[in-house]
Structure formats: structure tokens, C-alpha cells
Amino acid sequence: MANIHIQVVEGNPHLRSLLGWHLQQAGYTIHLAAGCQQAQEVFLSKQPDLVVIDSDLPDGNGLELCCWLGRQQVVILMLSARNNEVDIVAGLKAGADDYLTKPFGMQEFLARIEALSRRSRPVPPAYLRYGDLRIDLVQRRVHFGEELVDLTPQEFSLLYVLAQAGGVALSRQELLQRAWPNNIDNPRTVDTHVLSLRKKIEPNPQQPHLIQTVRNIGYRLNLEGLTAAIYNQPATNPPVISKMLGRETFHLQPAVKVIG
């Protein structure tokens, strides 16, 4: 089989290890996470093809994490001890592609994984839109309102990586690894480009609102209060979208302190 990467997000350490072991025996590459924050960090660094997530996690709501993962265009299997129709519907509406109630047999679990792994990953969107900020992923152009923002290729890459993180703060080292094509080990390079980017997209660069500095971590793109929409239509006629890919839009924010 193709080398498929699967992330397991499960608060119970015994079940997490058991699922990971059986998936490894079936030939999958496995990444484990115990809670919401760790799951976000692992996902952003490993970019798995499929995520198995428990609906009840020790540090947050599994449904909110499911919504965040849904925005990352990944196939999701939700596990839950809740087996009534209301909870199943809520899980599917949150973005899960399949829902498996506990307790379950390992053969059924592996069969569901195999079925989900056959699905093609969704076609990447042509545009990302966050309020007045629109990122054209095909032409590598950025519009703020109706104005075209003149970005360098490196500034575009930096903005795109921040947008991909969905509001999660990324360290300078993570940004260097994901946004820079060459091996650069100077974190101040990120600061210089963030400053330049702020001058071009922030209404007031002296009091940045869109690209925020997070103390002791790095930077994040502020999505609070903005309606995010992804669409594959020409930029000349963008639709008004309150839901993304048929799923309700939620914002899962980490517990970080923003300083500007």
C-alpha cells in the first residue's frame, strides 16, 4: 500500500497505544497525540493523510478540534462513547467523514480506516479568504479589499504558511522550516519579513492586528472576528459564504498571550 500517514488523537494512553500498534502492523505510518494542542502541533509538522480523533479530549472539545482539522482538508474518523443520533449527527456536521462508537472491534476499526484511506484527498482550494484578505494560491497574489498587495515571493510564502496554521501560533523556527526554500537558521530573518509584511497588509503597522506576536512562541494570523471562506471561483465574483465546504466554521485558538 502507499505510505499513508495517520494521526491518532486519543486521551486514553492505553487505547492510543493499542490503536497505534495495530495501525503500524497494518502498514501505516503513525503519529500520536494526547490532546487538542498537541494534535494541532503534530498535524502542522507531520501533515497526515487521515486523522483519528476522540470526541472527548482532556484539554478541549473534540468537536472543535474536528472543525479545525476540517479546515486543513484532511480525512477524519471520529471515535466516541456517545452513540445517540444527536451526537453522531453533531460529529458528522463538525467535519468527520466517519463516526465509530465505542466499544468497537479492532477489525471493524481497521476496515473503516482502509475505506477512508482509499478516498482521494480533496482538491486544494484556489483561494483562501479571511475577511478582506484574499490569498490567490494559483497566481500567488494577495488582495486586501479591492487592492492588489505587491508581495515578494518570500512574503507570500510567509503569509500562506501563517494562513495554513488556522490561527495557531508558529515559532520562528517552524516558519523558517516551512516558508523558506533554503536552509536558514537565523530566526531574525522571520522578524524582518514579518515587519515588511505588516507594512503592506496592516491598516496600522504600528499596532498590528492581522499578524500578531505571541510572547515566547512566535507569530499567528489573527482570525478572530473574521469569517473564513474557501472557494474555487474567479476572484472577480467571490460568493458570500457563511459555511465552508458545507461545514460550520469554528475557530480553535490555543491558550497564548498576544502582545501585539
Give the whole-angstrom CA distance, residue 56 versus residue 78.
10
The yes-or-no verdict on residue 247 having pLDDT over 50 is no
Question: Does residue 108 register a pLDDT over 90?
Answer: yes
0.95 surpassed by pTM = no
* Residue 83 confidence (pLDDT): 87
pLDDT on residue 232: 38
Q: Confirm whether 51 is domain-assigned.
A: yes
10 Å CB burial of residue 233 (0-12, 13-18, 19+) is exposed
Please check whether residues 89 and 11 belong to one and the same domain.
Answer: yes
**What percentage of residues in the chain have a pLDDT greater than 70?**
81
- Mean pLDDT across the stretch 208-226? 82
Range of the domain at 139: 127-231
Claim to verify: residue 133 and residue 39 sit in the same structural domain: no
Query: Does any domain span residue 250?
Result: no
pLDDT greater than 80 at residue 30: yes
Mean pLDDT rounded to a whole number for the chain: 80
Same structural domain, 29 and 54? yes
pLDDT score recorded for residue 122? 53
pLDDT of 222 reads: 86
Q: Which CATH number belongs to the domain containing residue 16 in this structure?
A: 3.40.50.2300
pLDDT on residue 24:
92
What is the number of structural domains in the chain? 2
Which pLDDT does position 257 carry in this prediction? 47
Cβ-based neighbours of 61, under 8 Å, separated by 6 or more: 36
pLDDT digits (tens, 9 = 90+) for 76-88: 999 999 889 999 9
Looking up cell 518570500 gives: 154
Residue 238 lies in a domain: no
DSSP 8-state code for residue 79: E
Q: Which of 28-37, 128-137, 210-219, 223-232 has the lowest mean pLDDT?
A: 223-232
Q: Name, in order, each residue with C-beta under 8 angstroms of 238's C-beta and a sequence gap of 6 or more.
A: 127, 129, 134, 229, 231
Q: What is the pLDDT of residue 259?
A: 52
Is 98 part of any domain? yes
Q: Is the peptide bond before 103 cis (omega within 30 degrees of 0)?
A: yes
pLDDT at 240: 32
Q: What is the CATH number of the domain that holds 158?
A: 1.10.10.10
Decide if pLDDT at 102 tops 70. Answer: yes
pLDDT by residue (tens digit) across 120-167? 555 556 777 777 778 888 788 888 778 898 999 899 999 988 988 878
Q: Are residue 113 and residue 134 in the same domain, yes or no? A: no
Say if residue 160 is in the same domain as residue 197: yes
Compute the distance between CA of residue 259 and CA of residue 245 in angstroms, rounded to an integer: 33
Q: How far apart are alpha carbons 95 and 76 in whole angstroms?
A: 7
Mean pLDDT value of segment 28-47: 89
Does the pLDDT at position 248 exceed 60?
A: no
pLDDT reported for residue 51: 95
131 torsion bin: left (phi>0), alpha (psi -120 to 50), beta (else):
left
